[in-house]
Amino acid sequence: MTAYLPTLLDEVSRLCRDSNTTAFQALSIQLDNVPRTKTEKSSSTCPTVDEWLKSALAVIPPDHGLHDSASVAAARAPWQEASRGVPEFFAGGYAYASLVDEAPPASDDPIRMGLLLQRPNIAYPGHAHDAEEFYFILSGEAHWHVDAHRFTALPGDLIHHAPCAIHAMETTDAPLLALWVWRGELTGRFWYESAPDVDCPSPPGVYADRR
């Protein structure tokens, strides 16, 4: 079976390079340095994926720069249900997959890349983390806010969250499928806006790929 990560990394890097945003252009350089020989993680599924991935993939715009590569990756990704282990702040309603995890000691330029699938009509409440974050919207739409900036995220949008920026997203009547990248303080804090002094645990499996 042909590896999907090299093509996906190349195409995400190209989108970053072609953007007019300095942060995304810098991310492109970092993505180019991720080894293309990484062992891909075994695929797995979960209830959110079983119910919503097929419909989310079907409506990725055909001219989206990640249409083919992200579709292949999503079909073979190691999906897990997620809630950050703090149901008192967020009961869940989305799945995630970690595809790339370049962190110390394997790399001194930490970066993580993966996918998110959020169910329809789910509000992912305001939260923040020490890591810098980038989103590439594949399909669906969501009401988004980053600190005081509010907007509707649509397929093809590139979204940047600076370290520690409070951000939230609420889906409409369709699922949201997106590719995300973290860089910088991958092992730093993650917290919810409603409880800024409570550190949330890392999801399982995000440090599994250090080879």
211: in domain:
no
99: in domain:
yes
209: in domain:
no
49: in domain:
yes
b/e code 73-83 from CB counts within 10 Å (16+ = b):
bbebbbbbebe
The residue among 194, 190, 134 whose CA lies nearest residue 162 is: 134
Q: Which residues 6+ apart lie within 8 Å of 72 measured at CB?
A: 4, 7, 8
Average pLDDT over residues 122-146: 97
168: in domain:
yes
Position of tokens 């001194």? 108
109: in domain:
yes
Lowest mean per-residue pLDDT among 55-59, 93-97, 193-197: 193-197
Predicted local confidence at residue 205, as pLDDT: 53
Q: Which residues 6+ apart lie within 8 Å of 83 measured at CB?
A: 90, 91, 92, 93
pTM of the model: 0.93
In terms of C-beta density within 10 A (0-12 exposed, 13-18 middle, 19 or more buried), how is residue 201 classed? exposed
204: in domain:
no
**Domain that includes residue 14, residue range:** 5-192
Average pLDDT over residues 118-141: 97
Provide the number of structural domains found in the chain: 1
The distance from CA 41 to its chain's CA centroid, rounded to whole angstroms, is: 16
CA end-to-end span of the chain = 20
171: in domain:
yes
**CATH number for the domain harbouring residue 184:** 2.60.120.10
Residue 1 pLDDT > 80: no
The residue among 92, 114, 118, 133 whose CA lies nearest residue 176 is: 118
More reliable by pLDDT, 200 or 154? 154
Predicted local confidence at residue 107, as pLDDT: 63
